[in-house]
Homo-oligomer: A and B are copies of this chain.
Amino acid sequence: MDDEFEKIAWLKARFELGDPPDGSVLGIGDDAAVFDFGAQPTVVTVDTHVEGIHFRRDWLSPSELGARAMIAAVSDVYAMAAQAVGSVVALTLPPKYPEADFRSLIDGLADAARATGAAVIGGNLSGGPVLSITTTAFGHSAERALTRRGARVGDRIYATGALGASALGFRLLEAGRLDLEHAKSFIDRWRRPPIRAEVAGRLSDFATAAIDVSDACLQDLGHICRASEVGATLDAQALPTLLGFAETCAAIGADPLELALTGGEDYEILFTAADVTKADAVATQIGVITADPILRVLDANGRSIPLRSDGFRHFS
């Protein structure tokens, strides 16, 4: 299957297994796909995974990589309180990329496309020095799309799932510390980001602003604060983490609070809400929106932890 056209024919079969996705007028195989987005506005986002920057090939399987690329892109759709309806994938393959890996990569993409709803409606294959996957994902909100702009003073701040887990998994892979007791659960979180479709589907009920945790909790919260012209105070003790987080951080000399606040790629949803009853049912309350336009993190005694200008604390 060295020939690009054979690859495309195979891709077409792989991605259209089962019924063509809703809205698909013309699928893979022509100059372009034709897709009926319907009468409502469409959420559109694009994300790139580049070998050597976002991943190393020996750190996850090709199918995990395919799934990760898809889920990372769709995560931005979820953060707009939308559900994924389709995607377009551009693959850049390095020289002599093994065919078995190519097939697994596509399997991972296709499986994640099915799991997220972002059916692959078109794509592009090209060569390049390293493996790279650019996914454009489309979504539709039940009501209005949720932006970063609606946070109001007094709103509670929430995070789904766990923070810092993916970043810790990444550090463990870098350090080669797969031997640690809880290593697998963090590495798995890096390899297989969560699919927050269910929370996304409920967000417009109660959230006032949302973003996905791709850069890092503190940085992404900063985006909400700047867009909403507010500030935020976080409770360090409230940050949700996976079992064994502090011990595993300690074992590799990482600061757990720093990782939870500044570790990226959790692909969790960070949102603000006034209705705590509904929000408490889907996520963990980690702080409150304030009028003073700065970010604060409070320790167990309610004292402000000094932060550097880039959002993390001064090391003493």
**Interface check A274, CB cutoff 8 A:** no
Q: How far is the CB of A142 from chain B (nearest CB, A)?
A: 14
Given the complex, which residues of B lie within 8 Å of A33, measured CB to CB? Answer: 43-45
The residue that A44 contacts in the complex, of B34, B43, B134, with Cβ under 8 A, is B34
Per-residue CB contact flags for chain A residues 128-161 toward chain B (1 = under 8 Å, else 0) read 1110101011010000010111000000000000
Interface string of A21-33 (1 = CB under 8 A from B): 0000110011111
Residues in B whose Cβ lies below 8 Å from that of A126: 48, 50, 53-54
Closest to A125 in B: B48
Residues of chain A from 101 to 144 with CB closer than 8 A to chain B in the complex: 121-124, 126-130, 132, 134, 136-137, 139
Q: Tell whether, in the assembled complex, residue B139 and residue A50 are in contact, meaning their CB atoms are under 8 Å apart.
A: no
Return the contact of A31 from the options B35, B39, B53, B76 (Cβ within 8 A). B76
Q: How far is the CA of A132 from the CA of B149 in the complex (A)?
A: 31
In the complex, residue of chain B having the shortest beta-carbon distance to the beta carbon of A32: B45
CB of A92 within 8 A of CB of B50, answer: yes
Q: Known A31-B212, A32-B77; judge A132-B44 contact (CB<8 A).
A: no
Residues in B neighbouring A236, C-beta threshold 8 A: none
Shortest Cβ distance from residue A177 to the other chain B in the assembled complex, whole angstroms: 25
Q: Specify which of B79, B121, B132, B147 is in contact with A132 (CB 8 Å cutoff).
A: B132
Neighbouring B residues of A44 by C-beta, 8 Å: 32-35, 88, 121-122
How many residues of A sit at the interface, in one of the four size bands? 35 or more
* Nearest chain B CB to A74 CB, angstrom units: 10
With A36-B41, A44-B32, A136-B136 given, is the CB distance from A50 to B123 under 8 Å? no
User: CB < 8 Å: which of B34, B39, B41 contacts A34?
Assistant: B41
Q: Which residues of B contact A132 (CB under 8 A)?
A: 92, 128, 132
Q: Are A34 and B26 in contact (CB under 8 A)?
A: no
Given contacts A36-B41, A42-B34, contact A47 B124 (CB under 8 A): yes
Which among A25, A82, A149 has the greatest number of chain B C-beta atoms within 10 A?
Answer: A25
Q: Do A147 and B26 have beta carbons less than 8 Å apart?
A: yes
**Chain B minimum-CB-distance residue to A219:** B5
Q: How close is A273's CB to chain B, nearest CB, in angstroms?
A: 17
Q: How far is the CB of A145 from chain B (nearest CB, A)?
A: 5
How near does chain B come to A249, taking the closest CB pair, in angstroms?
Answer: 26
- Chain B nearest CB: distance from A33 CB in Å? 5
A225 CB within 8 Å of chain B: no
Q: Which residue of B lies closest to A53 (CB)?
A: B127
Residues of B within 8 A of A129 (CB): 50, 52, 129-130
Q: Please tell me if A65 contacts chain B, counting CB pairs below 8 Å.
A: no
Q: Are A43 and B53 in contact (CB under 8 A)?
A: no
- Closest 5 interchain pairs by CB? A32-B45, A134-B134, A31-B76, A50-B128, A31-B79
Q: Offer 17 A-B interface pairs, CB within 8 angstroms, sorted by A.
A: A25-B41, A25-B145, A30-B227, A32-B145, A34-B42, A34-B145, A35-B41, A35-B44, A46-B90, A47-B90, A48-B124, A50-B92, A50-B127, A52-B129, A88-B136, A90-B136, A136-B136
